[in-house]
Amino acid sequence: MFSKFFGVKKEPTKQYRGVFGTLLAFGILGLLASFVLTVEKFHLLENPDATLTCSFNLVLNCSTVMQSWQSEVFGFPNMLIGLMAYSVVITLAVLGLAGVRLPRRILIAANVCFLLGAIFAYWLFFNSLYVIQVLCPWCLIVTFATTILLEVLTYYNLRENTFGFSKGWNKKIQKFLDSGYDKLIVASWIVILIALVFIKFGEALFV
């Protein structure tokens, strides 16, 4: 049914079941975080002095972050973007698990959107870390989920040569992926982000 609707062919799912399974898992995680943030935003609008469930101390405090201008960059709460974006991620994941080979233009568009989403998430992260100097726990989950989603979709597109690299470049890329360097880079990036948090706040995270 999916293949007829999208006008695309079926592909073997076993090879990429882990890829689309990961997209689904982290898409759901991101959607859950966005939903909770939306609910908490409503609570804050009703009562600016409300104590939110994601506010633990002076450092880990969603309330403070939600009241900053960075939480509404486009004139509406950022979490609404997450509700829409992660719903699309989940849809792509379900289609992939169903064995639907999506058109090249959709995969490239998705990869670009994932990249822009990650850049936005990192911008918010560094603003929270160094400008607001308060962290939102659910926002951290969103940043982590977005990072994994970008890595996984990029991995899939590079494996399938969706971007249309030349034979020579594609061979080098496949060798790079076979070596697992992509996962090492992502893991190192996440470790760096965690290290920056501890360097900035230290014991204050647990007070």
Query: The domain that contains 107 carries what CATH number?
Result: 1.20.1440
Residue 4 belongs to a domain: no
Task: Point out the least confidently predicted range of 43-47, 56-60, 111-115.
Answer: 43-47
Q: Give the range of the structural domain holding residue 59, as residue numbers without chain letter.
A: 10-206
Please indicate, yes or no, if residue 148 is contained in any of the structural domains.
yes
Which residue intervals of the chain are DSSP H helices?
A: 2-6, 17-46, 62-66, 79-97, 104-127, 137-159, 167-178, 181-201
On whether residue 1 sits in a domain, the answer given is no
Alpha carbon distance 111, 105 (integer Å) = 10
Tell whether 21 is covered by a domain: yes
- Would residue 3 count as lying in a domain? no
CA 151 – CA 158 distance, rounded (Å)? 10
Residue 115 CA to residue 48 CA, distance in Å, equals 34
Average pLDDT over residues 129-137: 96
Is the pLDDT assigned to residue 16 strictly greater than 90? no
Name the band, by pLDDT with cuts 50, 70 and 90, for residue 54: confident
- Domain count of the fold of the chain: 1
Specify the pTM: 0.91
Q: In sequence order, what are the beta bridge partners of 100?
A: 10
Is 96:20 a contact under the CB 8 Å cutoff?
A: yes
Q: What is the pLDDT of residue 47?
A: 87
